[in-house]
Amino acid sequence: MSIPSRVRLIDVGPRDGLQNEKTPVPAAVKIELVHRLQQAGLKEIEVTSYVSSKWVPQMADNHEVMSGITRQSGVAYSVLTPNLKGFEAAVLDQPDEIVVFGSASEAFSQRNINCSIAESIERFAPVVEAALAAGIRVRGAMSCTVGCPYEGDIAPERVAYLAGLLQGIGVQRVDVADTIGVGTPRKVQKALEATLQHFGIDEVSGHFHDTYGQALSNTLAALELGVWNFQSSVAGLGGCPYAKGATGNVATEDVVYMLQGMGIDTGIDLDRLIDAGAYISDFLGRKPNSRVAVALLNQRKH
């Protein structure tokens, strides 16, 4: 299959990127980050999650953030809802899409959400049903599709199994996530091919972490299969609290720079995107975790 001529990026920075930050990030800063991302041309933004504030205190302001956003026409705002209680709170804030999550690793599922893969699907089924009944789209995040911190390599058959379960409860599209960043191009392609047994090419996205510096290589490997949806995080924010040593999501700035260099349309203004990453990085008191952003910001100074 030829490489796509356009790519759609979902920026997960406001949710996945910030959820494990120790420094409390005020709702006003999160709202401004979302505004800057949509001004840069992002058409899909993962904003927040409706989880227990006991477990994820950073997301306790979900209602304030969602209700404070000035929504832009043509932009989709998604939120994470792990159970019916979370969905019932989220639906009041009118998200365009909700996200449920499952793991291709049994051990990771037990450590992360204290249940088996099959049990997690049973838990998500009523959430998916309620969302679809309310006219809200549903995305499934599939974690540990290449490797697991507890099990090691994950067989593609396990990925296909999870994809089939999610498809079976009505999930409309899925993210194939290399949660701990151990993937290499061929392994990532196998995980994607396994997912494509149950979902069409338009319903599959790549979600890569850069722990071993492979995220851009894995993005290119996915493009070679025809995948044209990807998730990334502005300034490379984020990581996985259950995966020791896992660094952040691949930086949106780095992905956009690569895609633009390949002549692939993203609809994103790289300069404005870099400004958005610099904004949140300045608040957190550190440089963006993006080589492209750091290099271009340094050029501006000279």
What are residue 60's phi and psi, to 5 degrees? Answer: -65, -20
For residue 51, the number of C-alpha atoms closer than 13 Å in the C-beta half-sphere is 19
CB neighbours of residue 63 within 10 Å: 15
At which residue do the structure tokens 């979370």 appear? 86
State the Cα angle at 205 between 138 and 198, rounded to 5°: 70
- Quote the CA–CA distance of 292 and 302 in Å, as a whole number: 16
The token duo for 2 is: 């030829």
The token duo for 30 is: 């999160």
Q: Is 266 helix (H, G, I), strand (E, B) or coil?
A: coil
Q: Which of 115, 144, 148, 240 is catalytic?
A: 240
If 0-12 CB within 10 Å is exposed, 13-18 middle and 19+ buried, where does residue 271 land?
exposed
CB neighbours of residue 274 within 10 Å: 27
Q: Please report, to the nearest 10 degrees, the dihedral formed by the alpha carbons of residues 53, 147, 141, 212 taken in order.
A: 80
66 neighbors 97 (Cβ within 8 angstroms):
no
- Catalytic: 240? yes
CB neighbours of residue 84 within 10 Å: 14
CB neighbours of residue 288 within 10 Å: 27
Q: Residue 227's closest CA among 195, 182, 258?
A: 195
State the Cα angle at 248 between 162 and 54, rounded to 5°: 75
Catalytic residue numbers read 240
